[in-house]
């Protein structure tokens, strides 16, 4: 065999080895892809919390799995949020059905009494009609709160933001409760700067948030007989605080107060219990105005609901 023929065979052998090596690498890469796909199918169909773990030296495949794991994390969070929202919605509908049934049953009972006794005394008739009106208003208020929250969560409420002087809004809101606070013997502490304080917000939304927070403080903080409203400024935000010195909210309960239909267990007394939607609506309104709402509470010392809005300095 001459040198030329030998060189030809060497080239053929080298090419064959290269082709075999490439084929082996291709098959190994194909098996890796198949293994990753099998793992991904199992995660999607069986265990949504599992991560995609596969040992490979291929840098591109490693980067691909990293991105897939990011998508799996996002999908898990969305799934958890959706399930939590569904549970909360079912609970809310159940509670609303229960809370609507009570006043409507009372209304029906009083109406049947009026209809069944034509000889009822005028004083008694007036008393029953007053109770019917009261219970009807309770039902209307609950239905109104439910639809307000539903529209907020569906982004179906137009809340345009403008430059507002929030000090005046605070004074106006606390003034609306003056007669009630006086009648119940509350000591009221107001700390609002005399100079104008401007923020980005919506007048109706801020008024409703303040109404909900002040009502909540009166309802649950009555034991302390003290209510405060303060307005302060930071560099980029303004903070509005509504506080009381009542029984407060224990730490395990504090993360739940903004949930739909949540009411404290010891507030089932109808004299103080609200719909359970007021604080949730307040939170949604504040978030719609690009603000934040918070709660801190030390029972019989100070319970503070505060929310911040973007400050406008011009």
Query: Which CATH number is 285's domain given?
Result: 3.30.565.10
Residues 216, 149, single domain; the answer is no
Residues 130, 54, single domain; the answer is no
147/124 Cα distance (integer angstroms):
35
Q: Is 290 left (phi over 0), alpha (psi -120 to 50) or beta?
A: left
Q: Considering 27, 47, 78, which residue would you say is the last residue of a domain? A: 78
Residues 290, 217, single domain; the answer is yes
Residue that the structure tokens 């939170």 belong to:
283
298/257 Cα distance (integer angstroms):
15
Residues 192, 264, single domain; the answer is yes
* Helix, strand and coil in the chain, % to nearest 5: 60, 15, 25
Residue 137 falls inside a structural domain: yes
Residue 12 falls inside a structural domain: yes
Residues 166, 296, single domain; the answer is yes
Q: Considering 78, 100, 121, which residue would you say is the last residue of a domain? A: 78
Looking at residue 192, its pLDDT comes to 95
Residues 73, 99, single domain; the answer is no
pLDDT along the chain (314 residues), means of 10: 62 72 71 73 70 69 77 79 74 69 82 85 88 85 79 80 95 92 93 94 94 90 92 94 90 75 45 62 92 91 94 86
Residue 83 falls inside a structural domain: no
Residue that the structure tokens 């809101």 belong to:
173
Residues 185, 281, single domain; the answer is yes
Residues 223, 131, single domain; the answer is no
139/141 Cα distance (integer angstroms):
5
288/276 Cα distance (integer angstroms):
20
Number of folded domains in the chain? 3
Q: Considering 30, 51, 78, which residue would you say is the last residue of a domain? A: 78
Residue 131 falls inside a structural domain: yes
Looking at residue 278, its pLDDT comes to 82
Residue 230 falls inside a structural domain: yes
Looking at residue 155, its pLDDT comes to 76
Using alpha carbons, select from 86, 104, 89, 88 the residue that is nearest to residue 142.
104
Residues 148, 195, single domain; the answer is no
Show Cβ contacts of residue 309 under 8 Å, excluding neighbours closer than 6 positions.
Answer: 166, 199, 200, 201, 206, 237, 238, 240, 286, 289, 290, 291
205/271 Cα distance (integer angstroms):
26
Show Cβ contacts of residue 262 under 8 Å, excluding neighbours closer than 6 positions.
Answer: 256, 276, 279, 280
Residue 38 falls inside a structural domain: yes
Domain hosting 196: range is 162-310
Residue 40 falls inside a structural domain: yes
Residues 129, 181, single domain; the answer is no
Residue 228 falls inside a structural domain: yes
Residue 309 DSSP SS3: strand
- Asked if residue 198 lies in contact with residue 311, where contact means CB atoms within 8 angstroms, the answer is yes
**Count of Cβ atoms closer than 10 Å to residue 233 Cβ:** 16
Residues 70, 171, single domain; the answer is no
Looking at residue 262, its pLDDT comes to 56
Residue that the structure tokens 């007394």 belong to:
269
47/173 Cα distance (integer angstroms):
51
Q: What CATH number should be reported for the domain holding residue 96? A: 1.10.287.130
Residues 212, 292, single domain; the answer is yes
Looking at residue 75, its pLDDT comes to 77
Using alpha carbons, select from 151, 131, 95, 128 the residue that is nearest to residue 273.
95
The model scores a pTM over 0.85:
no
């Amino acid at each position: 065999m001459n040198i030329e023929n030998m060189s030809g065979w060497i080239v053929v052998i080298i090419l064959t080895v290269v082709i075999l090596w490439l084929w082996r690498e291709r098959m190994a890469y194909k098996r890796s892809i198949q293994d990753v796909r099998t793992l991904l199918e199992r995660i999607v169909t069986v265990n949504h919390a599992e991560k995609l773990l596969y040992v490979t030296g291929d840098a591109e495949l490693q980067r691909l799995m990293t991105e897939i794991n990011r998508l799996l994390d996002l999908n898990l969070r969305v799934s958890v949020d959706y399930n939590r929202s569904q549970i909360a919605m079912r609970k809310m509908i159940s509670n609303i059905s229960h809370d609507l049934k009570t006043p409507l049953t009372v209304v029906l009972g009083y109406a049947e009494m009026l209809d069944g006794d034509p000889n009822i005394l005028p004083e008694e008739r007036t008393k029953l009609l007053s109770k019917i009106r009261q219970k009807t208003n309770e039902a209307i208020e609950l239905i109104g709160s439910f639809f307000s929250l539903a529209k907020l969560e569906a982004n179906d409420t137009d809340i345009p933001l403008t430059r507002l002087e929030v000090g005046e809004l605070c004074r106006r809101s606390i003034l609306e409760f003056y007669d009630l606070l006086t009648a119940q013997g509350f000591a009221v502490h107001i700390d609002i700067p005399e100079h104008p304080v401007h923020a980005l917000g919506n007048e109706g939304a801020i008024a409703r948030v303040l109404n909900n927070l002040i009502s909540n403080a009166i309802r649950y903080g009555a034991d302390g007989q003290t209510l405060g409203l303060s307005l302060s400024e930071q560099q980029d935000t303004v903070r509005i605080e509504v506080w009381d010195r009542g029984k407060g909210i224990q730490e395990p309960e504090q993360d739940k107060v903004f949930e739909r239909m949540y009411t404290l267990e010891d507030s089932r007394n109808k004299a103080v219990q609200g719909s359970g939607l007021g604080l949730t609506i307040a939170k949604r309104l504040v978030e719609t105005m690009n603000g934040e709402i918070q709660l801190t509470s030390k029972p019989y010392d100070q319970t503070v609901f505060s929310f911040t809005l973007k400050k406008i300095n011009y």
